[in-house]
Structure 1
Amino acid sequence: MYPSPHYQELDRKKLISVIQKFPLGMLVTVYDNKPLITHIPFIYNTETKTLVAHIDKNNPQYNTLQEGTEATVIFKGPDCYISPSIYESKDQLPTWNYIAVHITGKIHLINDAEIAKNSMIAMTKFLEGSEQRFVLQKDNPKMDRFVNYIQTFEIEITKWEGKFKLSQDKSKADQENTRSALKAKTERSLSEFINSIYRN
């Protein structure tokens, strides 16, 4: 990740919060000098300090997940276009603000079916949030079948990279205006976009 000093985020708690709020990561590995990318949810295990996920064994990327293989996971937070019209200071140029976290680490395969089931239960519990409208039970008969078609794995994190491009090089007033724009545009544009995708 391009390390512009203005935008580097080193606060580990903030980086973890991005992963927890936006858990759908982009898993990146390499095969035959070509990148393979899969979008899958991850959970951050606060005890082992690892990322945990599972992948369909029919996915070609599965074959790149060998014990000790290096992988990168990209988590993308909110982003939006910033118009110079919102700045109080003059002579500014358009830009794009965003929040992103890149995690690099080593793959460790989890081949124990019971541990794999527990990881699925933990992920479901986390993703269900505080309401917990659905509880995945370990004795669910579908689990016994499903666990044979997935590969559960964890990533031992060796490198954290956070880039929070939030106009930190601007005045306090301009930073506040861009924060408001990021919040407003993210909420409005996502709602409108989702509606457009479902529209016939």
Structure 2
Amino acid sequence: MHPDPSFRPKQGDLPALFVREIAFAGIFAGTPDGPRVAHAPVVLSDDAATLQFHLARGNGLTKHLEGASALAVVQGPDAYVSASWYAAPDQVPTWNYVAIEMEGVIHKLEVVELVAQLDRLSAQHEARIGANPPWTRDKMNPVRFAKMAEAITGFEMRITAWRSTLKLSQNKAPDERERVAAGIEASGHGALAHLMRQLGNR
């Protein structure tokens, strides 16, 4: 998390919104083999208190996560900021970005909880892509589904801390911020430029 408090989101529900929209995270934890990270789709609970995910049984983190403290990181849009975009002199290049961190203790899910997670995950994303009819596991042979589910392990993190950084040039004057947004947009990062314009002044 960036130490400058200017880059903390003022909208309390914004971090959870990013997690739900991006829905993919890096899961970091220490293991006897050293630090490890896994990358997984995630499901945030309605009250934003828990984060569920699943990993392949053979993943280097899977056997170490039960009861472990871990960090889940969701990355939003990011882009290089050229110092030449500033009118003020003596500036340096930097990077604008969005990153949401969630910390908590992880426990393993029972099979029925894992299946519920998979159902919720597919339902959310089938709706997002507008699938009609949406895919459901009812379209699979139950024996085949059960065999595939055996190859993964479900987990839930009870979130004890949120740490969020929205570095959108909020520490710059409005005219400088707009120049940076225009430069970022011209360099092909329209989503980040839009965020800067929508959130940077609030």
When the two structures are superposed, what TM-score results if normalisation uses the length of structure 1?
Answer: 0.83
What is the deviation of 1:49?
Answer: 2.7
User: How many percent identity over aligned positions?
Assistant: 24
Structure 1 96/12 Cα, relative in aligned 2: closer, same or farther at 3 Å? same
Aligned length: 186
Q: Is the 8 A contact 1:117 1:143 kept in 2?
A: no
What is the deviation of 1:84?
Answer: 2.0
Unmatched 5+ stretches in structure 1: 189-200
Alignment match, 1:30: 30
Query: Within 5 A, what are the aligned runs for 1:25-174?
Result: 25-32=25-32, 34-47=34-47, 49-66=49-66, 68-111=67-110, 113-128=111-126, 129-133=128-132, 134-138=134-138, 140-141=140-141, 142-174=144-176
Letter in 1 for 2:116: N
Alignment match, 1:194: none
What is the deviation of 1:88?
Answer: 3.2
Q: Deviations over 1:138-192 (max 9, x none)?
A: 473232111111111111100000011111111011112323444453548xxxx
Letter in 1 for 2:187: K
Structure 1 97/187 Cα, relative in aligned 2: closer, same or farther at 3 Å? closer
What is the deviation of 1:22?
Answer: 1.9
When the two structures are superposed, what TM-score results if normalisation uses the length of structure 2?
Answer: 0.82
What is the deviation of 1:130?
Answer: 5.0
Alpha-carbon distance in structure 2 between the residues aligned to 1:152 and 1:179: 40
Letter in 1 for 2:125: L
Q: Deviations over 1:61-99 (max 9, x none)?
A: 101111x32110111111111112222333322111111
